[in-house]
């Protein structure tokens, strides 16, 4: 397993899907002080429109279903509303991930290249029902905390903020068999995993983590939680209460995922 912490994959971006992007984006800005980095109003090959927001040096993407019957539409229908969509990990040596995926029978459903790097997205049916993309950045500064990214445009650093939320540190992933899915991701990502004693599993990343939990009715397989780090968690909760986005159990919801706030 990879031993050098600097070279561990890093959680760099998460995404949610919605049919009401204006509301979700307004919640994202009001509750987490997210800053718009880039918007692609056009429709891509999958029938999706996207907007990218910064949370510190990480990105929160809001995807809207621009064409009926798109993957976003289908996911929203299964979830019965807004839903977590994808996790994107920044890594070194993309070819090694592709080789491990091929050996494991994990299909690649999309390849993307830009001036900053390359990305592969894996078929969710092969990754426990969870959308996963792995990205290698090859532009100068790759691997830095505020290094370049494939999304967000060239000036994303200019508008980022750290006062309310300083970054994204974790993702909670629901699946039918958390231990089996964690073991599969372990082989794909070349990372160790540990059971947490409640049927769940955890995996450490560079500066963050992934947690695999059992899917439940209303929360089928996929991204169900996003953990953020904040210098003032009470301010985040105040903002969430003002948006009426705090549930009876005290959880904060945004775009179909639970927001977990950790203090710096």
Structure tokens at 90: 């920044």
Mean pLDDT confidence for 213-217? 86
Mean pLDDT confidence for 86-94? 95
C-alpha neighbours within 13 Å on the C-beta side of residue 209:
16
How far is Cα 202 from Cα 241, in angstroms, rounded to an integer? 30
- Residue 213 in contact with residue 173, Cβ under 8 Å? yes
Q: Determine the pLDDT at residue 149.
A: 94
Tell me: pLDDT of 1 over 90. no
How far is Cα 101 from Cα 21, in angstroms, rounded to an integer? 33
- Residue 214 in contact with residue 175, Cβ under 8 Å? yes
Mean pLDDT confidence for 228-257? 94
Q: Determine the pLDDT at residue 45.
A: 65
32-36, 125-129, 195-199, 240-244: range with lowest mean pLDDT: 195-199
Contacts with 229 (C-beta within 8 Å, 6 or more apart), sequence order? 56, 165, 166, 167, 168, 169, 261, 262, 263, 264
What residue ranges define each of the domains in the chain, with the CATH number in brackets?
A: 5-263 (3.10.180.10)
- Residue 62 in contact with residue 28, Cβ under 8 Å? yes
pLDDT band at 175 (very low <50, low <70, confident <90, very high): very high
Q: Determine the pLDDT at residue 51.
A: 94
Mean pLDDT confidence for 239-244? 96
Q: Determine the pLDDT at residue 41.
A: 67
How far is Cα 27 from Cα 60, in angstroms, rounded to an integer? 12
Mean pLDDT confidence for 48-73? 88
Q: Determine the pLDDT at residue 218.
A: 63
Contacts with 146 (C-beta within 8 Å, 6 or more apart), sequence order? 57, 157
Q: Determine the pLDDT at residue 68.
A: 77
Q: Determine the pLDDT at residue 126.
A: 97
| pLDDT tens sequence across 6-50 | 568 999 999 999 989 999 999 999 999 999 999 886 666 667 889
The pTM is what? 0.94
Tell me: pLDDT of 2 over 60. no
Of 250, 240, 241, 251, the closest CA to residue 32 belongs to: 240
- Residue 131 in contact with residue 89, Cβ under 8 Å? no
Q: Determine the pLDDT at residue 204.
A: 96
pLDDT band at 75 (very low <50, low <70, confident <90, very high): confident
């Amino acid at each position: 397993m990879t031993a050098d912490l600097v070279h561990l994959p890093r959680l760099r971006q998460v995404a949610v899907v919605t049919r009401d992007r204006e509301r979700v984006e307004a919640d994202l800005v009001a509750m987490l002080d997210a800053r718009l980095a880039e918007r692609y109003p056009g429709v891509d090959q999958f029938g999706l429109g996207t907007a990218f927001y910064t949370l510190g040096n990480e990105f929160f993407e809001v995807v809207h279903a621009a064409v009926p019957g798109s993957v976003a539409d289908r996911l929203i229908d299964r979830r019965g509303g807004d839903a977590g969509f994808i996790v994107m990990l920044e890594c070194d040596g993309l070819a090694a991930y592709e080789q491990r995926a091929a050996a494991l029978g994990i299909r690649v459903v999309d390849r993307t290249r830009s001036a900053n790097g390359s990305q592969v997205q894996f078929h969710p049916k092969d990754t426990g029902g969870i959308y996963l993309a792995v990205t290698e950045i090859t532009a100068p500064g790759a691997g830095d905390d505020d290094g370049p990214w494939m999304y967000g445009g060239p000036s994303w650093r200019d508008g980022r903020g750290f006062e309310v939320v300083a970054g994204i540190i974790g993702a909670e992933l629901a699946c039918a068999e958390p231990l089996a899915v964690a073991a599969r991701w372990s082989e794909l990502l070349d990372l160790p995993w540990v059971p947490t004693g409640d049927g769940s599993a955890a995996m450490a990343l560079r500066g963050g983590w992934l947690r695999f939990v059992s899917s439940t009715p209303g929360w089928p397989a996929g991204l169900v939680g996003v953990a953020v780090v904040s210098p003032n968690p009470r301010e985040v909760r105040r903002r969430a209460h003002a948006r009426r986005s705090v549930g009876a159990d005290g959880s904060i919801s945004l775009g179909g995922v639970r927001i977990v706030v950790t203090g710096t």
